[in-house]
Chains A and B, each alone.
Chain A
Amino acid sequence: MSLLRSASVLAGRLAGRNQLALKCLATRRTIHGEAQSSEPTSGPAKFPGAQAAFVAKPTLVLPEHVESVPIYRVMNADGVIEDASQDPGLSRETVQKMFRDMVLLNTMDKILYESQRQGRISFYMTNFGEEASHIGSAAALSPEDWVYGQYREAGVLVWRGFTISDFVNQCYGNREDEGKGRQMPVHYGSKKLNFVTISSPLGTQIPQAVGAAYAFKRQPNNQRVVITYFGEGAASEGDAHAAFNFAATLDCPVMLFCRNNGFAISTPSKEQYRGDGIAGRAAGYGIAALRFDGTDIFAVYNATKMAREYVLKNNKPIVMEAMQYRISHHSTSDDSTAYRPAEDLEIWNTTEHPISKLKAYMKQRGWFDEAAEEANVKAVRKQVLAQINQSEKIPKADWRETFQDVYHEMPQHLREQMKQMEEHIEQYKEHYPLKDFKN
């Protein structure tokens, strides 16, 4: 499938429309250098800012005349592959790992969500309904590829081998957390899994991913790409614009992966943008685009695989847009029933759910074992619960870690401030939760 909207398809669609649309077409086709304007005036324009022909009448390029980027899907809601040529041909083991990882994420989410409700952790964000976009894309990447995420991509870490202990310890901020308890829950990071630590400010990671991709591109025989995930809300940030434009002009092998789940907290996507989603912006930046069904793990997998090959081969970026639905509340601080009816969720929670689709596919293949699956869920539940009990008891890091890693080496003024706090604690120790922290 072509990554760029083909002019001939566009021509066919627009043939029956009015004269204005034809003018739009003529202008657009000339941009691609494939045809002359239907009403050319004298010679090509020489402006440095764009390559286009003159026309003799004013031509409005209306957004409704631009065809939407289509949504690629491989299997339908019943788990049936619609076009056999699109079957990724994954082994039973791989598909089963995909399924298990989605279930693990889903099960862990449910328990950690509840544990926040019980006040055991301070905050949590679930991934309900978006599991396939994480696992499917992660499976199509090389483990060496760097990942810059937003915060709702925990499945990428699951696929790469971040353990239940890793997740739970981060949420508790205990001394087993590699982040040393400095960030809120779900702000995961792993050097060894090439997953750059999450931060809260939205969109900031996108231009960073572009810079990293540029640096990797310069390394000899580079086989590594960078993928950055972000929501459709974050795509409204200035940093998204910066990133798209830098990625295009500086030829960066970066995959700009948008999880379009319809909501940014309470804001529906219709209040977020008026264009053709996020993929529709790509052409404006001169970037290839690929939109797909984010609830269909095979579509996500195939799209990511194709995108990765394109990016690495051409040293160019690609905009990817996974269409899905945020079944989750935005976070544990949010009650989504305040801004959307509960019944809207129904379809996304059942037939259109990424886990049920893959399950249906596996059943057809005879790869789904009900008993084994039940045992798996049980085992995950048990493991997460046990880990919660354990993580709760693990002390937090030495409180002096407050002052470490601000700089590579602690400067004098921070050493003095740490000493002040030590002296203060010595005098007022009974007022501080020292027993929870490692000495």
Chain B
Amino acid sequence: MSLLKLASGVTAAVLKKGSTTQLVVSRASSHFVYSPDAKAPVEGPTQKMNMFQAINNAMDIAMERDESALVFGEDVAFGGVFRCSMGLQKKYGQDRVFNTPLCEQGIAGFAIGVANTGATAIAEMQFADYIFPAFDQIVNEAAKYRYRSGNLFDCGSLTFRAPCGAVGHGACYHSQSPEAYFAHTPGLKVVVPRGPNKAKGLLLACIKEKDPCIVFEPKTLYRAAVEEVPVAAFESPLGKADILRAGSDVTMIGWGTQIHVLKEVADMAKKQYGVNCEVIDLVSILPWDKDTVCSSAKKTGRVLIAHEAPLTNGFGAELAATIQEECFLHLEAPVARVTGWDTPFPHVFEPFYIPDKFRCLAGVKKLIDY
């Protein structure tokens, strides 16, 4: 944990200030334009929510229906540095929604123990950048509990939530996307929502899932992403990708914030090159939806994968390797990866680091021209 806690409230305050901070704002906001889901995931009454409200709503539902469910982590009691647990302690009491000491390995170990007894643990890592002290507990313990005990014990009722991804000014330790580290760990389920509906559905699915899950929540979407979210409980299936836009020429695969970049790229490619892009939100990093990805790749013959995390051994590498293995005879061009560079995530150079729409568009052009 760092002492620099970038509450989204701070970002909002910065937005309103003078010309020096205005620079920061334009840099941060140029990266993507949020586009809501075309339709609600389930029927019924909806309410306008941003992503932190949808997450709050999901936890509220989970705690309401399961008396064993606990929400804990650093600073969750007053509502969380990103407001995700607002009002929950007041509603459910201090023994169900509480602050822990500032220690990620403790949070993870504690969560595993809670889950060993069958109770539901919803644990927050304040930033995905600070999940690494808990890496041992997550990788060696949580992921292997069921397997190593011959199914005598498990910690399936635990869910980790961790804010991830670029935020405009997060630099090395408030911007990381560590999904690939965890994708290499059998026994975990890892998902990344692209907006409020997905966040609510995935979180509820993870909480119910009988395996330990990690939800990486792109923090830049907490406030920026607003859409109509069904009021009722619903679950978004784990391991299932979403085709957000159908296309015939190029398959573009991403997750989290990058989905909104790719949707814009699809419009640009159509307008500038007359190219029809199919946009797939992978949603689930582990296990991932090979069928949806590969049938799209076979249809279009060209694939571009984009993620914020660095290139080398990023999750794009796994996708690319599988696509060439499964779709070899259908490919018209090498699988392209547009990602963060193989550097730490920089502060002032963020606009040159992220796989923005222009780098993705250039990637599409190369695929078409190949």
Contact = CB atoms under 8 A, between A and B. Distances in A.
Contact of A213 (B106, B113, B133, B144): B113
Contacts of A201: 136, 140-141
Interface string B86-120: 00000000010010110101101111111111110
B112 A211 contact: yes
A178 B105 contact: no
Contact of B109 (A180, A239, A249, A407): A239
A52 B141 CA distance: 40
Contact of A197 (B105, B153, B211): B153
B148 interface: yes
B210 A408 contact: yes
A212 interface: yes
Interface in B53-91: 68, 70
A283 to B, nearest CB: 17
B153 A196 contact: yes
Contacts of B151: 404-405
B237 to A, nearest CB: 12
B239 interface: yes
B23 interface: no
Interface in A106-142: none
Q: A206, A216, A407 — which one has the most chain B CB atoms within 10 A of its CB? A: A407
Contact of B239 (A197, A213, A218, A411): A411
A405 B147 contact: yes
B359 interface: no
Interface in B128-175: 133, 136-137, 140-141, 144-154, 156
B103 A246 contact: yes
Nearest to A245: B101
B152 A179 contact: yes
Contacts of A241: 103, 106
Interface stretch (A96-104, A183-191, A377-385): A183-191
B110 A208 contact: yes
B157 to A, nearest CB: 10
Given A242-B106, A250-B100, A408-B210, A197 B137 contact: no
A197 B117 contact: no
Given A179-B149, A199-B141, A243 B109 contact: yes
Given A214-B110, A215-B117, A238 B133 contact: yes
A321 interface: no
A175 to B, nearest CB: 11
Contacts of B95: 218
Contact of B146 (A206, A238, A406): A406
Contact of B141 (A178, A204, A406): A204
Contacts of B187: 406-407
Contacts of B150: 177-180, 182, 189, 197, 405
Interface residues of A, number: 49
Nearest to B137: A204
Contacts of A208: 109-110, 112-113, 116, 141
Given A204-B140, A407-B187, A413 B290 contact: yes
A409 B119 CA distance: 20
Interface in A153-170: none
Contacts of B287: 411-413
A241 B110 CA distance: 12
Contacts of A413: 287, 290
A191 B145 CA distance: 13
A35 B153 CA distance: 49
Contacts of B106: 207, 239, 241-243, 245-246
B277 interface: no
B338 interface: no
Interface string B355-369: 000000000000000
B116 A212 contact: yes
B121 interface: yes
B186 interface: yes
A216 B108 CA distance: 18
A25 interface: no
B114 A212 contact: yes
B121 A211 contact: yes
A407 B146 contact: yes
A246 B150 CA distance: 29
A246 B101 contact: yes
B144 A190 contact: no
Nearest to B101: A245
Q: B109, B121, B136, B154 — which one has the most chain A CB atoms within 10 A of its CB? A: B109
Interchain residue pairs A-B with the least CB separation, the first 4:
A211-B113, A207-B109, A242-B106, A197-B149
20 contacts: A146-B117, A199-B140, A204-B141, A206-B109, A207-B137, A210-B109, A214-B114, A215-B117, A239-B106, A241-B106, A242-B110, A245-B101, A245-B106, A250-B100, A406-B146, A406-B147, A406-B186, A407-B187, A407-B211, A409-B210
Interface of A: 146, 148, 177-180, 182-183, 187, 189-191, 196-197, 199, 201, 204, 206-216, 218, 226, 238-239, 241-243, 245-246, 249-250, 404-409, 411-414
Given A210-B113, A211-B113, A215-B113, 13 more contacts: A179-B152, A201-B140, A204-B137, A207-B105, A212-B113, A212-B117, A218-B68, A238-B103, A238-B105, A239-B105, A241-B103, A408-B154, A408-B211
